[in-house]
Amino acid sequence: MSADANDGLSRRGFLAISAATLGGVMLAPGIRLIEIAGARAPEQSVSRQVRWGLLIDTNKCAPGCDDCVKACATENGLKDTGHPRTDAQWIRKVELKDMRTGRANSVPVMCQHCEHPPCVDVCPTGASFKRADGIVLVDRHICIGCRYCIMACPYKARSIVFEAITDQNPDVPRGNGCAEGCTLCVHRIDRDQQPACVEACTKAGHNAMFFGDLNDPHSEIAQRVAKYASTQIRADFKLNPGVRYQGL
Amino acid sequence: MAEYLIYHELGGPSRRFWSLLGLLAVPLALAAIAYFYMEHYGHIVTGMDNQIVWGMPHVFAVFLIIAATGALNIAMAASVFGKAVYRPVAPLSALVSLALLAGGLALVMLDLGRSDRMVVAAMQLNPESLLSRRVIFYDGYMASVGVYMWFLLEPRMNRYVKPVAIVAFLWQLLLITSTGLEFGFNFRAVYDSVLYAPMFIAFSSAYGAAALILILLAACGWEGRDVSGELLRRLKNWLGVSVGASLFFAILFLGTKYELVRSRDVARFLLFDGGVYTALLWLGQIALGGVVPLALLLRSRLSRSGIAAAAAMVLLGGLAQMYVTLIGGQAYPQILFPGMIESSSYFDGEIHPYAPSLVEVLLGLGGVALAASIVAIVLRAIALLPERLDPPAKPQA
Amino acid sequence: MKTNGTGAFTGRIARAICLLALLLPVLVFASERVPKPVINIDRQGKCVEDSATMRREHPDMLKHQRDLTMHEGIRTRKHSLKECVECHASAKTGSVLGAKGFCQSCHDYASVRIDCFNCHASKPKLASGVKP
Ligand code: SF4
Ligand code: SF4
């Protein structure tokens, strides 16, 4: 796969930022650019200026380590039912080996929060949707469980729940018959915390995952993607995922 | 030619008719039980899992929907392209099309993870979505075919049949093309070919004609009506041409997959080492559903039972094709990292196993039984079959 | 004349039905054998709106809030289901479900299916055994 370093911050993204900055400075000196700063008042909607993303440094991600996967399961109440084939997996570690060079890699794969998500394109009810800040979610209130999104997602990021569930985490509702996938821990993001996987990875000292606003040039993630070569999985599909990988 | 087109309800003693309905009620009841069982326990009781999310009910559903669009072709030939031989069976062709579509759509609805929310699917459409655009296509299709049928049967409206038929024809084209493209636009390695659109048009023509022929022969056999040799011969040739075209597109599709380096592995999977999918492809789709019926149909003198056998084989081959396309397409791993060997706890890089459970098969057969019951009941209730199906062929036809 | 007679007759029947419909709740409540919903409120203090409003409008409030939360990320607590559960979970079972649960007892009585708890937790965070 060729590494294309620069399409993470699309031209459109840059223009949006500069427009927002200019607008903020020129039109309304009183209104701070809180969208970009990240902090948001509780009754304020999420902002279009933001594009949440992840950067995964595969050089630091150890084969066999699944700290992020475990943290996700705890946070989101994903329990092992003893039927691995029907269990939902929001994040998984994919072990890779290059067929020609033999180089091995290990990468966490979750919903890639595509800019042009096929899961949203095909959803008949609008249950699959992209939030203004780029997070792709399933609105379980209107999901009919047709599984079309699972058919359409090229990253195997969606699952459907096969059995009744009890004892959910109150922040993470999930139930029988609805499609689901990584939410980027939207409930945590909404209270200015990092996704559970990123937190766990950092806490364990691996530092292989970075979370932040790709549209904010001051964020660590934006600076990293500007500096280092990173790529998207199946960039040839041109879905512009918000999750990027370094060192593949 | 309207003189001898006097339509009649399906006759025969009512005892016999009720026993036919009783017979059809068995698969319907079994399907109902299967549905409530699935609805109660969740999809865990099916053979599906998070790798193969569309199982046997979808195989039947898509098959019925494809056959439905094709079954209308005969009516369209009569009303849009003026082929008078087919005119007597035009209403039947439209009815079979609507019935098959109803069976297929019912299956899609009953197999939803949240089938209690079916109403949402009908009310809250996402206009951007391909699938819900198809809901609109379905509605438009059913409405236009319904109007078309009414105009056909109402002598006063007869002269407006052609424009209405053209509208129905356009809906039909839209529906089948979008069905094909939905596969073609999918990112999965097995799909990803624009050939799906023409290939599905050929498939639909073959399956639809086969279903129509079987129903026509059954309905006429029911009362001992005679079908004109000319009509049967034309239908036989129609089926033959459609089967030939299906074979041609299937071979073209598999051949191009094999020739293109980027899809050679997929082609190899389907053609040589896909296990059950390879077997179903060669023995089911190609042999049973293609070569053998084609050989039969190419014979200039073919008995009625010969035609019926060929049609039945085409349908069985079509089911095999649908299984290979749908299940095989999901069984083949999605490639996230080309050029790398992938493995994970989520079965990346592996061929996914699938074994349909009994409930799924029962549900699927229920869809077929639903379509058959609709045809039987409507034929009995409404005068759709011409009194005589053995008029001499019109010279200009 | 005939039509007039029928009209009067139907009118009388309609009135009788209306009367019966109006009387029905009274009759039901008067009867001792019909179980009434158990409305146990363990926590002291006031709800976010007065009882009459809550009884009538809680479905709409929840629906409105759910769309705000889901699509706009607005997680104010006032009308959120999570807060309902926090307050109204039974002290005994820790849940709003169960025969005597705050939500279920009333919904059973009114025979209105609750769809919420197929997906949402019916217990507050601490009681549900999930680590805080
Ligand atoms: S990764 Fe899949 S589920 Fe996630 S946004 Fe993209 S298409 Fe949708
Ligand atoms: S399963 Fe749910 S989210 Fe996925 S496409 Fe169907 S309705 Fe939309």
Residue B383 tokens, joined: 């005068």
Note whether B344 contacts A95, CB cutoff 8 Å. yes
Per-window interface: A 13-52 vs C, CB < 8 A:
40, 42-46
pLDDT digits (tens, 9 = 90+) for A97-147: 999 999 999 999 999 999 999 999 888 888 999 999 999 999 999 999 999
With respect to residue C95, please indicate whether it lies within any of the assigned structural domains: yes
How confident is residue C19, by pLDDT bands cut at 50, 70 and 90? low
d(CA B131, CA C72): 25
A43-246 carries CATH number 3.30.420.40: no
Note whether B113 contacts A145, CB cutoff 8 Å. yes
Chain A residues within an 8 Å CB radius of C75: 42, 187, 190-191
pLDDT at C36 (0 to 100): 76
Ligand 1 atom closest to residue A239's alpha carbon, by position in its atom list: 6
A188 touches chain C (CB under 8 A): no
User: Which among A119, A120, A128, A183 is the best mutation to test ligand 2's pocket, defined by most ligand atoms within 8 Å of the CB?
Assistant: A128
Which of B344-348, C4-8, C21-25 has the least mean pLDDT?
C4-8
Calculate how close chain A gets to C52, using CA atoms only, in Å. 26
CA of A119 to the centre of ligand 2 (A): 8
How confident is residue A6, by pLDDT bands cut at 50, 70 and 90? very low
A157 lines ligand 1 (CB under 6 A): yes
d(CA B321, CA B299): 25
Which of A8-17, B66-75, B257-266 has the least mean pLDDT?
A8-17
Answer whether residue A3 shows pLDDT above 50.
no
Note whether A44 contacts C70, CB cutoff 8 Å. no
Q: Which residues of B66-76 are buried (b: 16+ CB within 10 A; e: fewer)?
A: bbbbbbbbbbb
Per-residue pLDDT, averaged over B225-244, amounts to 91
Calculate how close chain B gets to A98, using CA atoms only, in Å. 4
The total domain count for chain C is: 2
Answer whether residue C27 shows pLDDT above 60.
no
pLDDT digits (tens, 9 = 90+) for A74-83: 999 999 998 9
Calculate how close chain A gets to C40, using CA atoms only, in Å. 22
Comparing alpha-carbon positions, the chain B residue that sits nearest to A146 is B112
Residue B308 tokens, joined: 């019926």
A130 touches chain C (CB under 8 A): no
Chains that touch B (3 or more CB pairs under 8 A): A
With respect to residue C43, please indicate whether it lies within any of the assigned structural domains: no
H or E element, residue A179:
strand A179-181
CA of B220 to the centre of ligand 2 (A): 44
CA of A240 to the centre of ligand 1 (A): 10
- The residue whose C-alpha atom lies closest to atom 2 belonging to ligand 1 is A153
Calculate how close chain C gets to A5, using CA atoms only, in Å. 31
Residues C64, C109, single domain; the answer is: yes
Q: Which ligand is nearest to the CA of A123?
A: 2
Residue C130 tokens, joined: 């999930």
pLDDT at A243 (0 to 100): 98
Comparing alpha-carbon positions, the chain A residue that sits nearest to B333 is A156
Q: Which of C70, C118, C130 is nearest residue A77 as measured by Cβ atoms?
A: C130
Domain that residue C26 falls in: 1-34
Note whether C73 contacts A186, CB cutoff 8 Å. yes
Which is more confident, B44 or B388? Answer: B44
The β-bridge partners of A230 are A246
Q: Share the mean pLDDT of chain B.
A: 90
Residues C71, C109, single domain; the answer is: yes
A126 lines ligand 2 (CB under 6 A): no
A144 lines ligand 2 (CB under 6 A): yes
pLDDT digits (tens, 9 = 90+) for B331-385: 999 999 999 999 999 999 999 999 999 999 999 999 999 999 999 999 999 988 8
Residues C25, C81, single domain; the answer is: no
Comparing alpha-carbon positions, the chain A residue that sits nearest to C86 is A170
Residues C25, C57, single domain; the answer is: no
pTM for this predicted structure: 0.88
With respect to residue C26, please indicate whether it lies within any of the assigned structural domains: yes
Percent of chain B at pLDDT exceeding 90: 72
CA of A195 to the centre of ligand 2 (A): 24
State whether the Cα torsion C111-C115-C118-C120 is positive or negative.
negative
With respect to residue C63, please indicate whether it lies within any of the assigned structural domains: yes
How confident is residue B44, by pLDDT bands cut at 50, 70 and 90? very high
pLDDT digits (tens, 9 = 90+) for B140-163: 899 999 999 999 888 888 888 999
pLDDT digits (tens, 9 = 90+) for A136-173: 999 999 999 999 999 999 999 999 999 999 999 999 99
Chain B residues within an 8 Å CB radius of A98: 339-340
With respect to residue C68, please indicate whether it lies within any of the assigned structural domains: yes
- What is the 3 state secondary structure string of chain B? CHHHCCEECCCCCHHHHHHHHHHHHHHHHHHHHHHHHHHHHCHHHCCCCCCCCCCHHHHHHHHHHHHHHHHCHHHHHHHCCCCHHHHHHHHHHHHHHHHHHHHHHHHHHHCCCCHHHHHHHHHCCCCCCHHHHHHHHHHHHHHHHHHHHHHHHCHHHHHHHHHHHHHHHHHHHHHHHHHHHHHHCCCCCCCCCCCHHHHHHHHHHHHHHHHHHHHHHHHHHHHCCCECHHHHHHHHHHHHHHHHHHHHHHHHHHHHHHHCHHHHHHHHHHHHHCCHHHHHHHHHHHHHHHHHHHHHHHCCCCCHHHHHHHHHHHHHHHHHHHHHHHHHHHHCCCCCCCCEEEEECCCCCCCCCCCCCHHHHHHHHHHHHHHHHHHHHHHHHCCCEECCECCCCCCCC
Phi, psi of A21 (to 5 degrees): -65, -50
Q: Share the mean pLDDT of chain A.
A: 86
Chain C residues within an 8 Å CB radius of A44: 74
Note whether B44 contacts A86, CB cutoff 8 Å. yes
Chain C residues within an 8 Å CB radius of A168: 119-121, 128
A-C CB pairs within 8 A amount to: 66
With respect to residue C76, please indicate whether it lies within any of the assigned structural domains: yes
Note whether A187 contacts C121, CB cutoff 8 Å. no
Per-residue pLDDT, averaged over A180-191, amounts to 96
A146 lines ligand 2 (CB under 6 A): yes
Q: Which of A45, A77, A140 is nearest residue C73 as measured by Cβ atoms?
A: A45
Domains in chain B (CATH in brackets) are 7-334+347-386 (1.20.1630.10)
A125 lines ligand 2 (CB under 6 A): yes
Assess: ipTM above 0.85: yes
Note whether A167 contacts C128, CB cutoff 8 Å. yes
Note whether B50 contacts A88, CB cutoff 8 Å. yes
pLDDT at B129 (0 to 100): 67
